[in-house]
Every structure is written in structure tokens, then in C-alpha cells.
Amino acid sequence: MMDGTPKAFDVALTMDETQPRVLDRMAQGLLGTAMDRPDGPLKVTGTAPYAAEHSVDGLATGFLVRATITRGRVAHVNVEGAMALDGVLAVFTGDPLLRNPAQGTAAEAPEQVLPEVHYLGQPIALVVAETFEQARHAAQTLDLTYDAEEGADVDPATATETETPKGKRLDQGDLAAAMEVAAHSVDTRYTTPGHSSAPMEPHASVAQWIDGRLELHGAYQMLKYNVAELADALGVDESAVRIHAPYVGGGFGSKLGIAPEAVAAAHAARELDRPVRVVLTRDQVFEMTMRRSETVQRLRLACNGEGHLTALGHEDRVSNLPDEGFAEPTAQGTHFLYGGENRFFEQTVARVHRSCAGSVRAPGEAVGMIALECAMDELAEAAGLDPIDLRLRNIPDTHPEDDLPYSERGLARCLTEGAERFGWSGRGAPASRLEGDWWVGMGVASAVRTNILGESKARVTLRPDGTALCETDMTDIGTGTYAILTQIVGEMLGLPRDRIEVALGDSDLPKSSGSGGSWGAQSCGSAVFLAAKGIRNALAEAAGVAEDDLTLKDGFATGGNTRRPLSDLITDPIVCEGHVQPGDTSDDFSIAGYGAHFAEVGVHRDTGEVRVRRMLGVFSIGRVLNHKTAVSQCHGGMIWGIGSALTEELMHDRSDGRIVNHNLAEYHVPVSLDVPQLDALLLEDTRDDEANPIQAKGIGELGISGAAGAIGNAIYNACGVRVRDFPATPDKVF
């Protein structure tokens, strides 16, 4: 028995200690199963509290005012006029309150000046009133004047200011010469439009200052970063900011960083000394949060007579506001997916006065893989090879640019097992299968998504009554975090799911990676695993057996010849904190998730309408933590793939750059009728020993990466029309 004092450990296990694949010798049988989400019943009954629903006494409401010019400065705001309206409490305007991130930090620009306008739709003021209707009315009638600058660049194609960011050019070998002498080559150009993240839950914040500390209920993905951003915007210490985000209704990148409503609500609540709620309207979500940049991509591919790539070039042009650091990493996956000695990459960023570009659903691969995978289809045809065959011939042995070895990589298996399951051998020549009024065809594409580990901490407490608590500031943005962390704890400590509580989404808890870039489950899950491993070690010590010989199942510990309930081993709670950070894992491998997408489409022979008939995605992502939530993530990604292939497109007014279709009626995300039966197959026997202590890789974004390419290729196979400007709306098909 352990002595009476609660025991706390900071667990710092090395990767080597976890290499025997600790999780594979556990006995509970919970991890990897299709366990239901613990938070599911709360969500489907509408009782899970989302940010905007947080209710406090004396709540005032703020409504943001959007700029109606493209570029210039606010010259005057008639605050008195607005204040005279019923219920209006305050009008806030000016930098740094609602500043553009490009203008620097609050510390760099502390003076309160009327805001500069960088794009149409930018938040420039906040009106706070007793009720939502009063705030909205005052905001929409706010009398203000501008000093507008004429002639702002709003079109990336003609923008005068362009640059190539550092590190976004690679010239290896001689691509032009290799193209010249190649047996087969393609030099082709694809375009993809801007995308909106389009989360179901609009951005919302309820801010309240209690004893000089901000308590903000918001919808955010990465709390430790969001605390830092908010503290900076408000000019306070990070310790004076606490964010609560226990439930988040989708993020898709738009809630990675703090959005204007949080700064506005926090600032107003402090100034007015009462709680303030600000919720973005749907059109404000489109305009005031990040968009994905449109891209123009040139692909140059060449191969020899055996179908081996000799040259691979991927150039892209994207856009963002002047001085913004983010540029859609279009060619990210192209660097390591296929071989080819002669390589050329170059990115151009056009500076335009459109809304800010940032991370949206698999930044990089989601759109880069559309062009790469369609171009591979073009090359396969030029070389007279089956597209799967061409891909299989070009899986490199080591990273083609830095020679790093790959960690677990199931690309070949995904392609071949997927082909078998999908019935790929039944695919015919382009425009050879007419069924009624529909041309039917099949397409394939590889899937790849960079894998990233983010620093994460988590605390696990095991109580003598055999219940456990897992705490971290990690978020569940609909992805299934509550479920997978329950499973990791249950598996490691031998507890059934109903004896485990998982607390998330509070920035006062141990700081995790947060949710983004497909790193959440593996990073935060690894921290939880390490904490639980520490508890196992302590239990083994208490039981007097080696950890390897300890079996924990259903609240009982078996070791040596004895089987005892946990309450026999401990009299006080054991608390362990797990900590994982990128340096803990190897830098000596190229680590990514892989997969293959298969699509069958029908193209209407008169209208050019495309319907996806069925889709299969096969994915290799190391250990699967929860079969159901993992498959769900794949389905979500594939559905976004249908969107980017066929319907999604941000449209900007050519004269002023405004987003014209800033609502879900005119910006078309796929609905149920657009989505056929989806089949997602996971290679569940794979483990990636290099990725992290739990041998799992990200899956959130792999499902979209390549999916639209498979649909584009299926359209070509169906009707013989190669669509190179996405989305493939009927006007582009025929």
C-alpha cells in the first residue's frame, strides 16, 4: 500500500521507453473501438452549452460594424448619434481595439486612433446595447465617414505587389532540361477558388471581468495560444485571461486564432464593467474570419519510358493582405509524395485587399493535391499507364529533397487495397460508359497530409474508488476528443468508460496543443498516455510487480499471483502529469498520413451536372484511437472534398474585393443530397513508431487531401472533359 500523501509525478518518458508499444499490451480493450462519444447525448439533446449560450446576469450585447470601403481610414464616427438611440450603452472604435493583426501588437501601437481599413467587411467598430436588436440597429445605422484610397488591388491576377516568401522556392537539378528529353510530360495549369471555413457554430464570445481577471466563454481551437493573443490585444498579462471552450461547433481553421468578436467583447466588458456578448452573424463569419486563398498552380511532370518521374515542378500563386505572414502552403505535400530528381517549386504571394487569408481545412494539401493528382492523371494517360500503376512506380525510397527516410507509410497498400475494394478493374476508357443520360466514370488520387506533434500537457488523477479524472485545456471541436482521451485513460488504467471523467476546454488546465493541423489527438493523446503511464508505474510499485507484469482491467490489478481491486493498492489519489514536445520525437524521419481516394461520378450528358455516386477512402494513419470518430473524421474530409470539387467557391466583387456570396445559401457546402454512400477504410494494423508515444497520426485533414482530385479524375474518365478550374460546375464541364 502507498502511504497517505497524494502523489504527484511529472512524467517525462522518452520515446524509447514507449517503443514496446505499451498500448498494445493493455487488457481493457477500449482503445480503438467504436466507443460512442461521452458528450454525444448532451449534444443531441441541445444541452451541451456552446459559447453564445453562456448566460450571466446583466449581460449586454455587442454588434460589430463592418467597413464599407476597401482601403483607407475611418475619418469620423458619429458616436453621439448612436448613443442617443434606445438602449445603446457604448460605441467602441479604433485601433488597437479592432486592429488588423498586420498593424502590430498593442504594445507597438498603443495610441487609440480611428481604424485603418484594409478590406471591405473589416470590423471597425462595436456598438453595445441592452439588447441584441438595439445593438444591431445602432450598428447598422452608425453614421461614419471615410477617407478612402482609390485603386486598391483586389484581384490576385493583376496585383502589382507580389513576393516569394523565404523558403518557398526550390530548384533542384534541371527541370526544363528533363522535361525536354522526357518520354512523356505534361505542363498543365489548375486553379482553385477561395474557400470559407464554414463552421456550423458562428464565432461567439461572452466576456466578463471578475476581480480584474477576464473570464471569456468563446469558441476556440487552441486555448493556450488564444489566451496569449487575447492578453496581447488587451494589454494585460496572460494570467489575467481565462478562456472556456468546453464545446466548439466546428472550427476548420477559423477558430485557431482569436477572432474580432472576442477582443471586442472583452474590451467592452472591461470598459463598461459588465458582461458583454458578441456573436458574429453568418455574413460576418465569412468576412471577418480567415478565408482560404484562391490558387493558380502550374504542374510540370515528366517521366521516362518506364513511368518513373524524372521531373516534378509545382509553382503556385496565392494571395493575402499586405504584410500578412500566412501563405497557403499549396505544394506542401508535393515535396515528399513522389520522386523525380529534377524539381522546381516556387510560390508567389499577391498582395490584395481582400479579407485575411489563413488556415482553412488542411491548408496546403487540400488544394495542392487537387492539382497534383489531376496532373498525375494527365501524365498517366500520356504515358499509357493505369493511374494507380503510375503512382505505385513513383513512391520514393527516401525523401526526394533531403533524403530522410519515411516512417510508417501505407500509400501503396491504400492504393492497391482500395482498388480491389472499389472495383477499379471495371474502369473503362474515357467516355465509354453511358447509363441512361449519365456518363459514368471512376477516378483515383493519393492522399497525403503532413503530420505534426505539438507540445502538450495533461493531468490524470486516479482515485482510490477506481475512478479517474483527465484534465487538459485541449478542445473538442466536434472531432471526438472527449471520447479518445476517455479511451486512452481507460486502456492504460484498466477502467471501463463510465469511471472516467474528461475535463477539457478550460485554459487554466494543463496546456495542450489544442485542435488544429490534425495534431490534436496524437499530441494531447500522447500527454494523457504519459500521465497514465506514470500512474501505472506507481501502481506496479504499490503492487510489488514490474510494470510489464501488471495487468489492469475493469478496476482490478493482476500481477504475480494476485488479483486485487485498485482500492487495495492505493488509499489516496495518484496524480500524474504527462508532457510531450516535438524534440521528444525523432527529426530524422519524414512523417505523414497517407491514403487513397476513389470516386465514381455521373456526368449528365445534356447539362454537365456532376453527381458523386460513391466514394472510398483508404487511410493509413498509424494507431486508430476510436474507430467511429476516426471514420467520422474521414467522412467529413471526403465531404469537404466533394465541396471543393463541385460546389464551394468564394466569389469576390472585381471592383472592391468584397465577398459576394457571404452566406450558406450562396456559398455552397455539400448537403446530404450531394453526398453518396461514403466508405472509409482504415488500415488499423499500422503503427507509426516515429510519430509520437502512442504511434498515432493525424486524421482530421487527410480525408480532404486528394479527395477532390479523385472526383476531377472521375469526371474526365466519365466524359472525357478535363476540368482544370475548380469547382467543376456544369458550365465548366460542358
User: How far is it, in rounded angstroms, from Cα 531 to Cα 543?
Assistant: 19
Q: Which three cell numbers, joined as nine digits, stand for 550?
A: 501488471
Q: Which is nearer to ligand MOS, 72 or 250 (CB)?
A: 250
Q: Pick the stretch among 246-254, 443-451, 457-465, 499-507 that binds ligand MOS (CB under 6 A).
A: 246-254
Of 361 and 391, CB closest to ligand MOS: 361
Looking at the Cβ atoms of 225 and 726, the one nearer to ligand MOS is: 225
Q: Report the alpha-carbon distance of residue 219 to residue 260 in Å, rounded.
A: 12
**Which residues does 728 contact at the CB level (< 8 Å), separation at least 6?**
610, 645, 646, 711, 712, 715
**Least distance CB 315 / ligand MOS (angstroms):** 23
Which of 261, 471, 648, 701 is labelled catalytic? 701
DSSP category for residue 52 = G
Q: How far is the CB of 201 from ligand MOS (least distance, A)?
A: 14
Question: Exposed/middle/buried for 300, CB within 10 Å: 0-12, 13-18, 19+?
Answer: buried
Q: For strands 500-503 and 468-471, give the pairing.
A: parallel
**Does the active-site annotation cover 163?**
no
What residues does 191 pair with on adjacent strands? Answer: 296, 725
Grid coordinates belonging to 286: 465569412
The whole-angstrom separation of Cα 199 and Cα 209 is: 28
Nine-digit cell string for 163: 513576393
List, in order, residues 6 or more apart from 334 with CB less than 8 Å away: 312, 314, 345, 368, 372
Nearer to ligand MOS, 62 or 637 (CB): 637
Only one of the segments 139-147, 360-368, 441-449, 478-486 lies at the binding site for ligand MOS (rule: CB under 6 A); that segment is: 360-368
Radius of gyration of the chain (CA): 27
Question: At its nearest, how many Å lie between ligand MOS and the CB of residue 79?
Answer: 37
Task: Report the residue closest to ligand MOS, judged by CB.
Answer: 253
Can residue 559 be called a binding residue for ligand MOS (CB under 6 A)?
A: no
Binding mask 484-523 for ligand MOS (x = CB under 6 A): --------------------------------xx------
With CB under 6 A as the contact rule, which of the stretches 37-45, 48-56, 247-255, 494-502 interacts with ligand MOS?
247-255
> What DSSP character marks residue 51?
G
Smallest gap from Cβ 640 to ligand MOS, in A, equals 11
Considering only 43-51, 249-257, 385-393, 408-416, which stretch makes contact with ligand MOS by CB under 6 A?
A: 249-257
* Nearest approach, Cβ of residue 518 and ligand MOS (Å): 7
Q: Is 251 in the site for ligand MOS (CB under 6 A)?
A: yes
Q: Which helix (H) or strand (E) holds 370?
A: helix 365-383
Binding test (CB under 6 A) with ligand MOS, winner from 96, 202, 249, 363? 363
* Burial of 284 from C-beta contacts in 10 A (0-12 / 13-18 / 19+): buried
Range list of H helices, 570-665: 627-642
Kindly state the smallest distance separating residue 226's Cβ from ligand MOS, in Å: 13
User: For ligand MOS, which residue of 54, 118, 242, 361 counts as binding (CB under 6 A)?
Assistant: 361
Of 66-74, 116-124, 239-247, 248-256, the window that binds ligand MOS (rule: CB under 6 A) is 248-256
Cβ burial 47-77 (10 Å sphere, 16+ → b, else e): ebebbbebeeeebbbbbbbbbebbbbebeeb
Q: Which is nearer to ligand MOS, 303 or 360 (CB)?
A: 360
Residue 356 to residue 71: CA distance in whole angstroms: 13
Torsion from C-alpha of 575, 577, 578, 579, nearest 10 degrees: -170
Per CB under 6 A, contacts with ligand MOS among 255-274 are: 256
Which CB, 339 or 516, lies closer to ligand MOS?
516
Min dist CB 472 to ligand MOS, Å, is 18
Helix (H, G, I), strand (E, B) or coil at 13: coil
| Contact call for residue 693 and ligand MOS (CB under 6 A) | no
Using CB under 6 A as the binding rule, whether residue 670 contacts ligand MOS is answered as no
Residue selected from 360, 372, 390, 574 as contacting ligand MOS according to rule CB under 6 A:
360
**Three-class secondary structure of residue 644 per DSSP:** helix
Q: Which stretch binds ligand MOS (CB under 6 A): 128-136, 149-157, 251-259, 410-418?
A: 251-259
Least distance (Å) from ligand MOS to the CB of residue 512?
Answer: 14
Closest contact distance (angstroms) between CB of 250 and ligand MOS is 9
Nearest 5°: the CA angle 513, 248, 63 is: 115
* Choice between 299 and 366, CB closer to ligand MOS: 366
Residue in 50, 209, 220, 252 binding ligand MOS, rule: CB under 6 A: 252
Applying CB under 6 A, the site for ligand MOS has a residue count of 11
Question: Does the protein bind ligand MOS through residue 359 (CB under 6 A)?
Answer: yes
**From the centroid of its chain, how far is CA 627?**
19
Task: In angstroms, give the least distance from the CB of 361 to ligand MOS.
Answer: 5
Contacts (CB under 6 A) with ligand MOS, residues 202-241: 221
Find the Cα–Cα–Cα–Cα dihedral 218, 219, 221, 223, rounded to 10°: 10
> Looking at beta carbons only, is 552 or 592 nearer to ligand MOS?
592
Helix (H, G, I), strand (E, B) or coil at 178: helix
Q: How far apart are CA 560 and CA 562, in angstroms?
A: 6
Q: For ligand MOS, give the closer residue by CB, 63 or 519.
A: 519
Q: In this chain, which stretch among 325-333, 354-362, 408-416, 456-464 interacts with ligand MOS, using CB under 6 A?
A: 354-362
CB 485 within 8 A of CB 446: no
The burial class, CB within 10 Å (0-12 / 13-18 / 19+), for 9 is: middle
> Helical H runs in 663-706?
none
Ranges of beta strands (E only) in 203-294 are 204-210, 213-218, 241-244, 276-279, 291-292
Nearest-approach distance from CB 477 to ligand MOS, in angstroms: 8
- Residues 700 and 361: their CA atoms lie apart, in Å, by 9
How much helix, strand and coil, in percent to the nearest 5, is found in the chain?
Answer: 30, 30, 45
Task: Pick between residue 254 and residue 461 the one whose CB is nearest to ligand MOS.
Answer: 254
By C-beta, is 320 or 359 nearer to ligand MOS?
359
Binding segment (CB under 6 A) for ligand MOS, from list 171-179, 358-366, 496-504, 645-653: 358-366
Residues that bind ligand MOS (CB under 6 A): 221, 251-253, 256, 359-361, 363, 516-517
Catalytic residues: 701
